[in-house]
Amino acid sequence: MSNWWPIAVSAVCAGILVPLAIRARWIGHDEPAGVQKLHLVPTSRLGGVAVVVAYFAALAVALTAGHLGLSSALPMALAALPVVLVGLIEDLTRRVRPRYRMLGAVVSGALASAYAGGIVPRLDLPVIDDLLQHLWLVLPLTWFMVAGACNAFNLIDGAHGLAGGTALIMFGGIALAAGWSGDPLTLGEALLVMGALAGFLVWNYPRGRIFLGDAGAYFIGFMYAELSIRLVARNSEISAWYVIMLAGYPIVDTLFAMYRRGFLRRVPLMEPDALHLHSLVFHRVALPIERRLKGSSLLRANARVAPRLWLHTALCLVLALIFRDNTPALWIGLAAYAALYLNRYRALVRFRGKRARYWVAAVAEGVDVAKRADAS
């Protein structure tokens, strides 16, 4: 049985489940008021639940149909449940502190380490790889990477189609590497996630009828981290930095957010703000385009953001594929992308005048500049 059919099964499952979540108007809706909000009407945050359920449904169908190559995927999927549950509680209540959400990610990482082989095998770094033989180092490092991946996807989940499309490209990179390396298990799992994301994106982009939510962002981040570990562990010819290069956009965005909050603005690292790259693209690129058009629309402005940042992930994918077995080249590629990201960010914030200073201060404090500008 071909490994490619699970993507269709999970896509169909997600495509059926997402409309049900949209119709559940009494629960799990995201109000438009808030620091990072770019939408105008209450919208369901349960899209991630549909993605998770579609993944499990497609996996169950695969196992029932005798696709035994995916049997070891079940422990990993079950290990994701703690962080998904914490994310779901946040989607429903909006009262879960960031530290508890990160704790849920660590618990899921620990379960994957214990029951699904989810332990970083190597980093292709002298001395460091020798130290990774010690559990006191490799386990905390693994759990930190899992929690970091969960948080990274949550941070970029700020515009219609952005997180889902970015993830689709990244899991496509894992699937390509697994296919070339003759790794049907990793390939099958990556395709299951891609199918569920494709079914979700039909409803999420461009109109944003449903959001991924914390549950979905954490599930995607967890699965990417764990499949990255599995790909590197099972295929020695692929550099460990392949999966890092592939995730260049969310990694650089997260690290820069930590620097911006901790060193520039002197606020807690987990405090939300509206100064991510996707927020700047919305305010400084998409909105001005819409204002120049007859009958400008904030919905269309929102939809203009994701394709521009999908190009970032596509660039990282190309660099990862070209240099998949060349660690030094991947280091250079990652540094080059980080420079590109910072240059783009600097170009969007370096403009002059009182209006510019007002805009930066207002966005940082959560003032709805988009609506105010659209009404002026």
User: Residues 264-292: what's their mean pLDDT?
Assistant: 86
Q: Are 120 and 142 in contact (CB under 8 A)?
A: yes
What pLDDT does residue 365 have? 47
Instruction: List the single range of 66-80, 126-140, 224-238, 344-358 with lowest mean pLDDT.
Output: 344-358
Q: Report which listed range, 59-73, 237-251, 285-299, is most confident.
A: 237-251
Q: What percent of the chain has pLDDT over 70?
A: 86
Pull the structure tokens for residue 179: 């296919």
Average pLDDT, the chain: 87
Pull the structure tokens for residue 92: 């429903």
User: Residues 256-284: what's their mean pLDDT?
Assistant: 88
Q: How many residues does the chain have?
A: 376
Residues 6+ apart with CB under 8 A from 28: 21, 44, 45, 46, 91, 92, 213
Element (H, E) at 30: strand 29-30
Pull the structure tokens for residue 295: 């009958």
Q: What is the three-class DSSP state of 213?
A: helix
pLDDT range class, residue 158, cuts 50, 70, 90: confident
User: Residues 63-89: what's their mean pLDDT?
Assistant: 88
pTM of the model: 0.90
CA 30 to centroid of chain Cα atoms:
19
